[in-house]
Structure 1
Amino acid sequence: MDIRTATITEYPMVRDFYHELIEEMQDSEFDIGWKKDIYPSPEFLKDSITEGNLFIGTEENRIVAAMVLDHQCNDGYQEFDWPTKAANTEVTVIHALGVHSKSKGKGYAKQMVHEAFAVAKRNHQKVIRLDVINGNMPAERLYTSLGFHYMHTLKMFYEDTGWTYY
């Protein structure tokens, strides 16, 4: 898998990737609650691409994985006393990491997170943070296997899921 930043001309492919991912996960055991054009929204995807924050993993000219890396976090992040103190500009936040179901089991999610590590290091970031919807065991296992630590469960509001525990 080749990982790189997406270009604005690839927006339709990126949107289609997320729509397929949402359809695949809907009503599954680990449905993450994303909704087409709500999360990730077209504006979020376009802005992330324009800002160079949307990364895609491609295989044979098709998107098999995607994620956004930026400094934006939900208000709930501010309620938590993080062990590593850092300004928002010193924190990379992983958003909307997904792997197409036909590519699951190939280690692509792990490769995407390793790319997040590399990007954060190049940008002299102090820490990487993320949230996982409560009960998304595959994501929790992935992140803990890569060195992330469970910190706390917070009730946070997102447009796609409403008030949910993360």
Structure 2
Amino acid sequence: MEIHTAIKEDYPMVRAFYHSLIEGMQNSEFDIGWKKDIYPSPDFLKDSIANGDLFIGTEENKIAAAMVLNHECNDGYQEFEWPTKTEHSEVTIIHALGVHPQKKGKGYAKQMVDKAFEVAKRNHQKAIRLDVLEGNLPAEKLYTGLGFQYMHTLKMFYEDTGWTNYKLYEYAL
């Protein structure tokens, strides 16, 4: 799988990827709770592409995985006392990391997280943080297996899930 920054022309393919991912995960044992055009929303995807924050993993000219890396986080993150003391601009947040269900088990999620490590280190970040919908055991296993530390479970609001428990994770760089 080749990972690169998405460009404007990739938007239709990126949107279709997330729609396909959501369809493939709905009603599965570990439904991620995302909803088409709510999360990730078209504006979020377009803005992330425009800012150079959306990364896609492609295989045979098709998107197999995608994620967004930026400094934006849910307001709930501010309620928690993170162990790594940093400025907001020194933390990379992973958003919307997904691997197409037909591509699971190939190590693509790990490759995407490795790319996040590379980008964060290159940008002199002090930590990478993220949240996982409580009960998404594959994601929890992935992140802890890659060295992320579970920090806290917090009820946070997102448009796709409403007020729901999310597990916060951090990887200090």
Alignment partners' CA distance in 2, 1:107 and 1:46: 27
Q: Distance in 1 between matches of 2:80 and 2:14?
A: 32
Question: Which AA in structure 2 matches 1:37?
Answer: D
Regions of 4+ moved over 3 Å: none
More strand by share: 2
- The alignment status of 1:155 with 2:146, answered yes or no, reads no
Alignment of 1:100-111 (within 5 A): 100-111=100-111
Tell me the amino acid that sits aligned with residue 131 of structure 1: D
Give secondary structure in 2 for the equivalent of 1:23.
helix
1:117 matched to 2:117? The reply is yes
- Could you report, residue by residue, the CA deviation over 1:57-115 in whole angstroms, capped at 9, with x for unpaired residues? 00010000000000000000000000001111000000000001111100000000000
Matching residue of 1:70: 70
Q: CA deviation at 1:153?
A: 0.2
Alignment-derived partner of residue 97 in structure 1: 97
Aligned length: 166
The residue correspondences of 1:8-27 to structure 2 (distance < 5 A) are 8-27=8-27
Q: Which residue identity lines up with residue 4 of structure 1 in the other structure?
A: H
**Residues in 1 aligned to 2:159 and 2:101: alpha-carbon distance in whole angstroms:** 24
User: Residue 130 of structure 2 aligns with which residue?
Assistant: 130
Counterpart Cα distance in 1 of 2:10 and 2:32: 24
Aligned-pair identity (%)? 77
Helix, strand or coil: the match of 1:132? strand
Q: What CA distance in whole angstroms lies between the structure 2 residues aligned with 1:36 and 1:103?
A: 20
AA partner of residue 30 (structure 2): F
**Alpha-carbon separation, structure 2, partners of 1:28 and 1:143:** 20
Unpaired runs of at least 5, structure 1: none
Q: Deviations over 1:107-159 (max 9, x none)?
A: 00000000000000000000000000001000000000000011000000001
Q: Work out the CA distance in 1 between the residues paired with 2:68 and 2:131.
A: 13
- The answer to whether 1:7 aligns with 2:7 is yes
Paired residue secondary structure (1:130): strand
Q: Which runs of 5 or more structure 2 residues have no equivalent in the other structure?
A: 167-173
Q: Give the TM-score of the pair, scaled to structure 1.
A: 0.99
